[in-house]
Amino acid sequence: MARQRSIQVVRYVLLGLVTVAVLGYPMDWLVWTVRHQPTDSIQMEHYTETDLKGNKEGWDPDATFVVTCSQSLFGQTGSGACWWVRQHTQQVDRYGPN
């Protein structure tokens, strides 16, 4: 009896997760569209990481640039979600042996 109840709970949890996954993006897009597609601009920094003598690394700042992000839970129209872009404002290219 308890085993059947456990299986039923697992099924409901899985059904809930699938429902959230299937409806999450379309609902986010709908809310984003109703809010007139709000976007923001965030400044990004680009660095080049190079290997130096003595097992050291050098970070050379290359450029700063501005990217557009969507104020939504998921990225919209090819741009990332602002909450994610704000946490990843540095881009690093690595050169040298791996």
Q: What is the pLDDT of residue 21?
A: 86
In whole angstroms, what is the distance from residue 40 CA to residue 32 CA?
13
Q: What is the pLDDT of residue 98?
A: 58
Q: What is the pTM of this model?
A: 0.73
Q: What is the pLDDT of residue 96?
A: 66
Q: What is the pLDDT of residue 36?
A: 95
Q: What is the pLDDT of residue 97?
A: 64
Q: What is the pLDDT of residue 54?
A: 87
- Written as tens digits, the pLDDT of the chain (98 aa) is 788 899 999 999 999 999 988 999 999 999 999 999 999 999 999 999 988 888 888 888 999 999 999 999 999 999 999 999 999 999 999 876 65
In whole angstroms, what is the distance from residue 54 CA to residue 69 CA?
40
97 CB-contact burial (10 Å; exposed 0-12 / middle 13-18 / buried 19+): exposed
Q: What is the pLDDT of residue 94?
A: 86
Do 29 and 75 contact (CB within 8 A), yes or no?
Answer: no
Number of neighbours of residue 5 by Cβ within 10 angstroms: 9
